[in-house]
Structure 1
Amino acid sequence: MPHPFPTLRTFYYLDHFKEMVAFLENHYAKVLADEEREYIEHFNQLGQQAQALKVRMTNRRGRIFRIESFKYSEIPDRDSSLLELRELGFIRPLEAADVDEWLDLLTRAELVQFLKSDENPAKCCTSGKTKQQIRNWVRESYGFADFARHFTLESFTVQARTQTLEYLLFLYFGKTRDSLQAFALRDLGIVKTQSAQTQFEARFQSPQSAKSAFFYSSIATKIETADPGELLIIADSAADWPPAVDRETEAKFHRVIAQLGGRLERIDCIPQALQVYELSDHHPARERICRLRHARGETEIVQAFLQRIIDQPASDEELLFAEDFHARKFGGRKIGRLTQLLREAPILKLDEAFRDQPEEAVVRHFMELGQTAIHVENHFWSVLFGVMFWDALHGESSCATPNEFELRPTQLLNRSFAEKQADVIEARLQWLGTAKAEAWIQEVFSNHFGQPNGIFHWREEDLPMLIRFLKAATPTATATILRRIAADPKSNGRGYPDLLVFDPDGVKFLEIKAEGDQIRRHQLVQMEALRVAGFDVGVLRVQWWIDPMQEYVVVDLETTGRRSESHRVTEIGALKVRNGEVIDQFQTLIHPQRRIPKIITELTGIDDRMVEHAPTFEQIADSFREFVGDAVLVAHNANFDYGFLRDEYTRLGQNFRRPTLCTVVAMRKFYPGLESYKLSRLCDEFSISLDRHHRALCDAAATAELLKLINLKRIIKPTSSFQESEIATRP
């Protein structure tokens, strides 16, 4: 029997607000200033209905509300509640400073009615005008006194002390938020939290740190939505922003500077952008200074500035930029280091049917060579880091998270993990190269597999991968990278190579680049870090071509309907093709475990009687998967057939993933201009037999003939389409 959907209590939102406040008083007592304490004290003085109405406002959009919109069955005494809120300063009347936001609240009809009531002969013609156009004209032409004469402004109220409320929400969630929706989603079971956790670690250790972080989070939100005029005002104030008081707020400051400078560049305010960038001594602001000044011809200034960066870089990525830019602009080198690395990388030719899955195609190539390659990207180092230091991150005496909604420990968020857990980290790294490391990883997987954490996703196949890696890799190299991640988890959590390859010499990491791909600077930073640590690291370029020996499985399905999520397969017909010849076939009726609609029987000729003793899909799933093997799946309208196959396997708790080739798409590409690309019309056009249309094997055979026509047009075209343009950080 299905579990009933959970319901929320009458005053659930009020309970959530009180829960948040109690949490802050318990864990952030030293961060709360007099303003926040007074806010909480005044809130506690309100009656239940007034408290509930206040939280209702908190969870709604905007600051200004129509009083008549406060219709809540659990708040019958609305007027008394509003009076309480006004007496304690939680709401106030509408004022002239609120006009812009208040006009946004009005409907188009209200604005038009206001203009009709005015005797001004120059009033705006509203016919054909949008609400925004009318609103803007009203704002420019009238003042607060005009509105007060026409509207009953007392029917509106303004939520006050909003900045204090926003600050409390920021302390709890660590980001600017305007509601407590996360609590409701938790209670409904939609959002999973660490509800059993009892130990928490505050995000901020001082009021100064919290206020600084709140300021930069708030200003970042304003920059994101500001219009050009507002951006210039923000830029003028940037020099007077409060100073960053710790490592994390300093990082926020530099991110906001880069964000503001980027937006100023996009509206072509280059002098103002430079003025803003010069407030930062970090990446990417200093890169933008170099590029903008070089574009203005200030070469001597740029050359000296680049040298200062090279002498004292703020990060590995900034050093890479400075050396590369200096070499190309002042050292005579014609191409960037990233482009040069890509050009020099060896090329591996693979069948273009795998174009959408280059990493998987290379993994398959290594498998054919008898080697093991695993597509890991950032996941590998995340899971190794998370498992090796599991007890330090999640144990009883470990660092804790800021609240039950946040899965990442506070010490990772504020980058204090390496300092505060130094002894644990170094002791654990001493296990590398010994049996202790393998035993520890097995213990963590055995005791904690599936436990939510904000560092990595659990996968069963990771355990043997990690054990094999630790046996093959140099312990000192592994320790170097793990220390690097511990020191700065945010910066060193991405950019790692695509593949981990095990070969007779140990392990190596490979970055895979298909045609049109670029090497990003942060990728090269991580590749360099791996190389310096002692790992074998490389780049492999994939070039697509037509492999005549590539196997294809041309498949056609008959089904009980068109939608794979609600219908089932009734017949499979498939042909295996290599070098233009059919080498094997697979055909069977399938019992759909439901009735076949009459309209489908009329189309295919397949009825309930025919499939009565046929196998179910579950009974043929393994044999069909074996038949397909590593072949490319081909179908006419491949999304239909492939979608049905995936859903059938999903119902069995299995994945089914293969590269596909759609003959509809390919025929349109290689044989353009035909009147129709339906299978029957293409068969007529190219004299292909289609004796039993809408029976799976017949349609598959016809589709195989189309594949031959397509492969006649698919010729090898040597490519030079790798991006060789300058790699830059864009605003």
Structure 2
Amino acid sequence: MRSLVLPEKYYLDHFFEFIRFTESHCASLLLPEHLTFIRKFKRLPYNTQCMFVRVVNRKGPLIACSKFNYAEIEACQTQLDILQELGILRSLTFKDIPSLLSGLNKMQLAELLSGSGIVFKKSAAKSELFALVCDADPKHIAQHNICSDFKIKTFVQEWQYLLFLFFGNLNSALDKFSMRDLGVLKTRQKSPQQGPGFDCIEEAQSAFYFACQKQALALLDGQVLLELTDNAELKQRPIGSIATEYAAHFWYELGCALLAIDKEKALAFWQLSSHQKAQERLIREIYKSDKAQAKFALEAILSAPKDDELSLFAFDFYQRKFNQKKLSVRTQRLREHSRKLYIDEVYKDRVELGVKRYYEDMQPNRAQDSCSSGDECLAILAYRTENRLFRALFGLTFWHELFNEATRATGSEFERRPRLVKENCLYEELSEQVESRLKLFTQYKNGSNTSFAMRYITQIASRYYGQPNGIFHWHSDMLEIVGMFLQHVDGQWVVNHLRAMAKNYQGLKDGYPDLMVIEDNQLRFEEVKAPGDQLRANQLVSIDALQSAGFDVGVCQVEWRYNPQQPYVVIDVETTGGCKPGHRITEIGAVKVINGKVVDSWSSLINPQRRVPHFITRLTGISNEMVEDAPLFCEVLDTLEAFMQNGIFVAHNVNFDYGFFKLEYERLDRTFSMPKLCTVREMRKYYPGSKSYALGKLTKEYGLSLDHHHRALCDAKAAAELLIMVIEKKQVL
């Protein structure tokens, strides 16, 4: 496939596209200085416009003129001079020196020190040189010839504001246009519903102010922070929902930064913030010194709840501190309303997959028992759903309302989240449309348990598949999961929960249970918790919301046990060299172990589609002649996958063999993923003290067979014997 190439002056095209959108959609949000900025650009000569955009796209307030040499721009230095004459750039003054110094490299810092007559060690670290330069007189440094190369942009605030209006944040730049044109970044289709992200200029300015304050906070130290808090503007009332969200985060983070420096000021900023964590930390701090005031604050939250997570915290804290309850709500829920499952410890890093496999492994026994007694054999189906089911259901159900019907539904094509989601006001603005859409879930085709909602959702998915939306990620099995869900639940339950999401998407967008399980035609959700895990506040909120809607939701607590029926597939691969993209597999050996015994084995030479180096042939005995007529990896894949089904991938130094499998799958545009276990690590854990844990050394130490070392099946059998030793030790322990 031909690679895409950008035009020579792509950046100028992108800038004009950016300006056109700003003028057509955001004109009401621009101040005179922003209009002046745009007019200045339009009046520039063509080559100066090119240089202007190059300057604009360079990060930071300073530019080094000597770096601005571009073959496609005529007389680059002349264009920079024009920009300075027009006041778009200016020379440095001693006040700009702190900004300059932070961007210099070690060599430039050393040159400044030498020119200022300051003694330093040439071997000193950059941080030491930086400290020395910072102590020097900025007026003297400003006269150095290095400084003459740098110019200051005079339009930074204006440019940041325009970017903020276009992208909806302070972290994006025009390089996203290039990523779009190269096919790297997928954007939303342009539509008539695109518009400004704010109702009025006051909202836009307020949001921009707090966004800038939040961004700058990370760069400030203690003394500057204290000076900053004296600025009365920091406590100004935000205008609009987006500004309110930025302000809440800013005040919370500012309070966190101030707590160790000035507790009183920290609490004052938390008092301003509507952020749930700010209110929680505020009450915890107040409780330490004034329990009565803390009690009053908790009662105020409980009497007029605005945030589910904050209300949960308030109830929990009140019960434990003032009603002498020993356990938190979340701990009590885990203890009293959960079931235990015993899962093989190999799933420690993938506990949800372990529980899913547990249900799938139950099926053969259930089927045998049911069929022998004459009952219908019903499968147990388990799906990893987490947040993706209800986010997809919400996004697909209300797609038309979110993206096609709402006023100013989205901003530019780069903004993914629809406005009604950002402002959390879908039901508030479009309640009639939402209620009309929800009726689909309680209307069914004649003689069918399939609601009209599924047909509608399928139509939406077919029409808009792959469109970025800021709510959910598209995936191939999404409609299958949604379909199974809708077939096994009461439509009214779905209506109840989707209505709650429409009223408060921000409060119910995450925290959903890990698994959807269908057993005996009954659907339930399960939140999976490994030993030591706790229910998070957002999880408890979402679980309670689902239960209130009518769903069966439980918590599954896992305890680690060795499962003798768990298949382990011990793999060894021989290759043309190290685990690099250019090297390939030449042989695969696989041994299946169940209940501590070898039950099956499989092996095959593999054509690597490249030459086998001589030193590899000397090491393994595998020659080019041997693999010339061997099958390709893709030709043995189906057989190999059937052999490995539901198994644990085991190998000696597992990442080597696992890595080659991943590379081979990637060449086929597929993804390889299995739980894995390393016999090196397991032997170190259960049989410590060996001088070497190389396969050859261990087999010799423990008297195991290894007749043809560096042939795949032989090595896999040896590693399987080590695995059996580990299993035996686990059973004893």
TM-score of the aligned structures, taking structure 2 as reference length: 0.91
- CA-CA distance at 1:76 after TM superposition: 3.1
| Aligned residue among 232, 235, 250 for 2:229 | 235
346, 355, 369: which one aligns with 1:362: 355
Partner of 1:140: 135
Q: Distance in 2 between matches of 1:417 and 1:245?
A: 19
**Alignment partners' CA distance in 2, 1:608 and 1:134:** 58
- How far apart in 1 are the matches of 2:431 and 2:383? 31
Classify 1:430/1:39 alpha carbon distance in 2 versus 1 (closer, same or farther; 3 Å): same
Cα 1:268–1:329 change in 2 (3 A) is farther
Taking the aligned partners of 1:323 and 1:707, their CA distance within structure 2 comes to: 50
What's the offset of the Cα at 1:342?
2.1
Alignment pair present for 1:171 and 2:149: no
Aligned length: 709
Q: 2:39 is matched with which residue?
A: 41
Q: Does the C-alpha gap of structure 1 residues 312 and 420 become closer, same or farther in structure 2, counting only changes over 3 Å?
A: closer
Is 1:676 matched up with 2:708?
A: no
Deviation per CA, 1:516-570: give whole Å up to 9, x if none: 3221111111111111111111111111111223222222222222326333332
Q: Which residue of 1 aligns with 2:370?
A: none
2:565 to 532, 535, 549: 549
Q: CA deviation at 1:304?
A: 1.7
Quote the residue 2:376 is aligned against. Answer: none
| Partner residue of 2:186 out of 192, 207, 223 | 192
Instruction: Kindly state the Cα deviation for residue 125 of structure 1 after the two structures are TM-superposed.
Output: 4.3
Aligned to 2:30: 32
Matched, 1:307 2:299: yes
Give the Cα–Cα distance (whole angstroms) in 1 for the partners of residues 234 and 455 of structure 2: 55
Instruction: Give, in whole Å, the separation in 2 of the partners of 1:207 and 1:54.
Output: 27
Contact 2:511 2:539 in 1 (8 A): yes
1:240–1:566 distance in 2 versus 1, CA, 3 Å: closer
Q: Distance in 2 between matches of 1:178 and 1:459?
A: 26
Aligned to 1:724: none
Q: Which moved more, 1:176-185 or 1:30-39?
A: 176-185
SS of match in other structure, 1:714: helix
Structure-2 separation of matches of 1:511 and 1:472 = 19
Tell me: CA distance 1:257–1:238, structure 2 relative to 1, closer, same or farther (3 Å): farther
Q: In the alignment, what sits opposite 2:730?
A: 714
Residues 1:181 and 2:190 are matched in the alignment? no
Give the 3 Å change call, closer, same or farther, for CA 667–153 of structure 1 in structure 2.
closer
Alignment of 1:517-528 (within 5 A): 517-528=533-544
More deviation, 167-176/579-588: 579-588
- C-alpha separation in 1, matches of 2:172 and 2:63: 15
SS of alignment partner, residue 432 of structure 1: helix
1:349 corresponds to: 342
| Map of 2:701 onto structure 1 | 685
Give me the whole-angstrom Cα distance separating, in 1, the residues matched to 2:715 and 2:72. Answer: 64
| Contact 1:591 1:611 survives alignment (8 Å) | yes
Match of 1:590 in 2: 606
Partners of 2:729 and 2:228 in 1: how far apart? 58
Equivalent position of 1:722 in the other structure: none
Q: Distance in 1 between matches of 2:148 and 2:342?
A: 74
- 2:588 alignment counterpart: 572
Written as runs of structure 1 = structure 2, the 5 A alignment for 1:597-612 is: 597-612=613-628
The CA deviation at 1:640 is 1.8
Contact residue 249 and residue 275 of structure 2 kept, 8 A: no
Match of 2:452 among 436, 439, 452: 436
Q: 1:117 to 1:622 in 2, by over 3 A?
A: closer
1:294 aligns with 2:292: no
For residue 603 of structure 1, report the CA deviation from its aligned partner: 1.4
Q: Is residue 401 of structure 2 the alignment partner of residue 392 of structure 1? A: yes
Q: Corresponding residue for 1:322?
A: 314
Report if aligned partners of 2:208, 2:243 keep a CA contact under 8 Å in 1: no
Q: Contact conserved, 1:350 with 1:361, CA < 8 A, in 2?
A: yes
- What are the within-5 Å matches in structure 2 for residues 377-388 of structure 1? 377-388=386-397
Q: Which residue of 2 aligns with 1:375?
A: 384
Who is 1:727 aligned against?
Answer: none
652, 658, 666: which one aligns with 1:636: 652
Structure 1 residue 681 displacement after superposition: 0.2
Match among 186, 196, 206 for residue 200 of structure 2: 206
Structure 1 residue 110: Cα displacement: 5.0
* Offset, 1:627: 1.6
Separation in 1 of the partners of 2:616 and 2:275? 66
Gap change, CA 1:504 and 1:399, over 3 Å in 2: farther
User: Would you say 1:340 and 2:354 are equivalent positions?
Assistant: no
Q: C-alpha distance in 2, partners of 1:302/1:33?
A: 45
Q: State the match for 1:725 in structure 2.
A: none
Residue 403 of structure 2 is aligned to residue 405 of structure 1: no
- Are residues 1:423 and 2:415 paired? no
**Aligned partners of 2:599 and 2:141: how far apart in 1?**
82
- In structure 2, the residue matched to 1:539 is 555
Structure 1, 30-39 or 654-663: larger mean CA deviation: 654-663
Letter in 1 for 2:391: S
Farther off after superposition, 217-226 or 579-588:
579-588
Separation (CA, whole Å) in 1 of partners of 2:585 and 2:8: 47
Listed one character per residue, the Cα deviations across residues 161-217 of structure 1 (whole Å, up to 9, x for unaligned) are: 211111111111111147421112222222222355454122112000100110111
> Which of 144, 148, 157 is the equivalent residue of 2:151?
157
Question: Equivalences for 1:215-294 in 2 at 5 Å?
Answer: 215-237=209-231, 240-265=234-259, 267-294=260-287
Checking the alignment, whether the CA contact within 8 Å between 2:530 and 2:557 is kept in structure 1 is yes
Q: Secondary structure at the match of 1:30?
A: helix
C-alpha contact (below 8 Å) 2:570/2:592 kept by paired residues = yes
Distance 2:513 2:106 in 1: 55
Tell me, in whole angstroms, the C-alpha distance in 1 between the residues paired with 2:550 and 2:700. 62
Structure 1 residue aligned with 2:448: none
The answer to whether 1:659 aligns with 2:675 is yes
Q: 1:526 is matched by which residue type in structure 2? A: S
1:201–1:410 contact (8 Å) kept in structure 2: no
Deviation at 1:653, TM superposition (A): 4.3
The Cα offsets for residues 583-622 of structure 1, whole Å up to 9 and x where unpaired, read as: 2221222333333222222111122333344333233221
Q: Quick one: distance in 1 between partners of 2:422 and 2:251?
A: 20
Matched-pair contact (CA < 8 Å) for 1:282–1:314: no
Deviation at 1:56, TM superposition (A): 1.5
CA distance in 2, matches of 1:348, 1:333: 28
Return the alpha-carbon distance in structure 2 between the equivalents of residues 465 and 155 of structure 1.
61
* Equivalent in the alignment of 2:374: none
Q: Whole-Å Cα distance in 2 between the matches of residues 595 and 149 of structure 1?
A: 63
Q: 1:372-426: per-residue Cα shift (whole Å, max 9, x none)?
A: 1111100001111122223333448886421112233233223333333333221
Aligned to 1:558: 574
* Counterpart residue identity of residue 224, structure 1: A
Residue type matched to 2:294 in 1? V
**Alignment match of 2:59 (pick from 53, 58, 61):** 61
Question: 1:461-492 deviations in whole A, cap 9, x for unaligned?
Answer: 22232122222222222122212322343332
TM-score where L is the length of structure 1: 0.91
1:75 match: secondary structure? coil
Partner of 2:367: none
Question: CA, structure 1 residues 261+596, in 2 after alignment: closer, same or farther (shift >3 Å)?
Answer: same
* Shift, 1:22, TM fit: 1.2
| 1:25-44 Cα shifts (integer Å, max 9, x gaps) | 00011111222112212222
Corresponding residue of 1:470: 486
Could you tell me how far 1:91 is from its partner in structure 2?
Answer: 1.7
Does the 8 Å contact 2:238/2:247 carry over to 1? Answer: yes
Structure 1 residue 654 displacement after superposition: 4.1
